[in-house]
Amino acid sequence: MKAVFLTQHGGTENLQYTTDFPIPECGADDIRIAIKATSVNRADTVVRNGYPGLSIPMPHILGGDIVGIIDHIGENVTNYSVGERVMVLPIISCGNCPICINKPEENHLCFNWQYFGMHIHGGYAEFCTVPAKNVVRIPDSISFEEATCFGVAGLTAYHALYTVAKIKKGEVFMIWGGSGGLGTIAVQLAKAAGAIVIATVGNDTKKQAIQSLGADYIFNHYTDDVPAEVKKLFPYGVNCIMDYVGPATFPKSFDMLQKGGRMLLCGILTGRESMLNIHQTYLRHLSIHGLYLGTKRELEELLALASEKSIKPLIGKTMDLSQAAEAHELMVSGGYMGKIVLIP
């Protein structure tokens, strides 16, 4: 089958394209999906470079977004049929750890979690075999390309804003880097909840598109003094900030939070460590939430919301799977908007 795989970590030159990778076997409780679209996520570039503390067996296929048509079902699978349009919850939970047993509704926190494209083979391929419990049907109104925006980026945004932060009407929400796959959906979800939305971009040409998605205030994080501008608008600060950038923005995010504010941390693009003022944290009743992805229920809720057309993914570029290295270069350069989709 077609696949893009790594044999070692490093730069984009390590993304090798082939047409003869072995098609995965389908176990009794599994479903094999003929992939029609996948996408590039920030996590893919981190895993390509070598994820801190994680040893990955090689060869390895990247990709957390798996979207396509059911090609084969295992003998124990009864509730799905060959030919159905489906996508995949990107986390596999073990079913046996204390979280899975006592809090199955929060099984994205499984102690033995596995993430497609990180711990196991992912979606940069023509086929992928997944546990049937991870499969979610795609509403007819959502295309394969659009669905790739929801599995990782959309699910993370939905979980962060609706389940963790419980963003409310009239609250001020801010996101650094609002023009990517996560940002463009987070802006729309915050707006759908009635929040006032501040987003940043790295290039003024992206402002118009973010505004059309619903952002109320847009700043350029390279040329504007963002904390000063936000303070002018909201002297008491903002209620909720999503930060996946890391040390480059964390101190600014922290300072901008108002009393009772919530920080949503979901990325390490500029490093892994940052100073934290403990005194200010308790004095201002701040909450710092680390998070990634979400649950199957949340993914189904997000798809239902999207199919009502209140949430429309922004697809910036569609490329052939064989162009995965070029797609990674594009993501790292920041010269795109929304999602970069790959078609096998």
The residues of the shown chain that bind Zn ion, judged by CB under 5 A, are 93-94, 97, 100, 110
Nearer to Zn ion, 8 or 96 (CB): 96
The residues with which 287 forms a beta bridge, in sequence order, are: 262
Least distance (Å) between residue 111 CB and Zn ion? 5
Tell which residue, 64, 87, 69, 72, has the closest CA to residue 292: 64
- Of the pair 113, 250, the CB lying nearest Zn ion is at 113
Q: Min. distance of Cβ 291 from Zn ion in angstroms? A: 17
Contact 343, 37 (CB under 8 A): yes
How far apart (Å, rounded) are the C-alpha atoms in residues 177 and 186?
Answer: 11
Could you tell me the sign of the dihedral formed by the alpha carbons of 305, 307, 312, 316, in that order?
Answer: positive
Strand 287-290's sheet: what is its strand order? 217-220, 196-201, 172-175, 238-243, 257-265, 287-290
Our CB check for Zn ion shows the closer of 46 and 94 to be 94
Instruction: Pick between residue 96 and residue 223 the one whose CB is nearest to Zn ion.
Output: 96
- Residues in the chain, how many? 344
Smallest separation (angstroms) from Zn ion to the CB of 90: 15
Least separation in angstroms between residue 108's CB and Zn ion is: 10
- Tokens in use for 222? 């390279």
Both tokens of 235, joined, read: 């002297």
What minimum distance in Å lies between the beta carbon of 316 and Zn ion? 35
Residue whose CB is less far from Zn ion, 11 or 95: 95
